[in-house]
Amino acid sequence: MEEIETRATGLVEKERIPEFRAVFFDLDGTLLDSEVLYVDAVRIALLRRGHFLEHNEAIALVYGRGWHEIHREVSRRWPGAYPSREEMEEVVREIFLDLQKQRDISIPGSISLLRRLSKDYPVAVVSGSPRADVQRCLEQLGIIDLVQFYLGAEDYPAGKPDPSGYLVAAARLGVLPETCLVFEDSAAGVAAAKSAGMVCVALRRRGLLRQDLSLADLIMEDLEDFDMAQLRSSKR
């Protein structure tokens, strides 16, 4: 534990900051606002099969969910629309790539934080998207050389909120889960990190669907402002 001095009521106190060995970032919704595009892509994909979905309904369907959960819900509401998850994923990805060419969806504060932390900690990205999509996004963001590795949906089939993705990442780096710091934006992602025994900071940006992020150790509106001193041992 690193110690810092704080002054309160004229007294000098010692507060302890968790000593981390690795930092993990979620991708969609944390480093880039790809979920906005996924919402539109899913709406278009369903419209192609004759099913209209309001924008707010699509947000509720997509935000904070992995492909397994999205396809399960689509199959429940529109049986036969997309018989297989793989088929739906392929169609949505094709639409997504077309939309991505037209918009800059990076989240500047999060990218800045990753660049800063990568100077002092090994950094990895743990995403529920296909590995090929993760690689492409990291290349477009210009940060792929800053991460030790990245995990995609193929690396932990259970998906979030299952903790396996973060446990796989910790094992790959040879560090204990409790020495890992995670940055997430969804309830499922936060639950995955906390179930893995890690410290989690949640990004809650204004104007987006509010999720229950109460399990997080810290909730912020912009990761640009993050500092290790904000994490006290009492929060763990």
Tokens representing 72? 């399960």
Domain 2-33+106-235: homologous superfamily in CATH = HAD superfamily/HAD-like (3.40.50.1000)
Confidence of residue 63 (pLDDT cuts 50, 70, 90): confident
Distance CA 111, CA 30 (A): 9
Both structure tokens of 169: 């990442």
Tell me, what's the pLDDT at 17? 56
Instruction: Read off the pLDDT of residues 147-198 as tens digits, 9 standing for 90 and up.
Output: 999 999 999 988 899 999 999 999 999 999 999 999 999 999 999 999 999 9
With a cut of 70, say whether residue 3 has pLDDT above it: no
- Residue 134, pLDDT score: 93
- The CA dihedral of 170, 174, 176, 177, to the nearest 10 degrees, is 0
pLDDT digits (tens, 9 = 90+) for 75-101: 999 999 999 999 999 999 899 889 988
CB 48 within 8 A of CB 149: no
| 231 phi, psi to nearest 5 deg | -100, 110
**Tens of pLDDT, residues 102-158:** 888 899 999 999 999 999 999 999 998 889 989 989 998 999 999 999 999 999 988
Top pLDDT among 116 and 68 is at 116
Judge whether 195 and 156 are in contact, CB under 8 Å. Answer: no
Q: Where are the domains of the chain?
A: 2-33+106-235, 35-100
Global model pTM greater than 0.85: no
Give the per-residue pLDDT at 4: 41
Which residue is it, tokens 């709406």? 43
Q: What is the pLDDT of residue 9?
A: 37
Cβ 81 vs Cβ 74: under 8 Å: yes
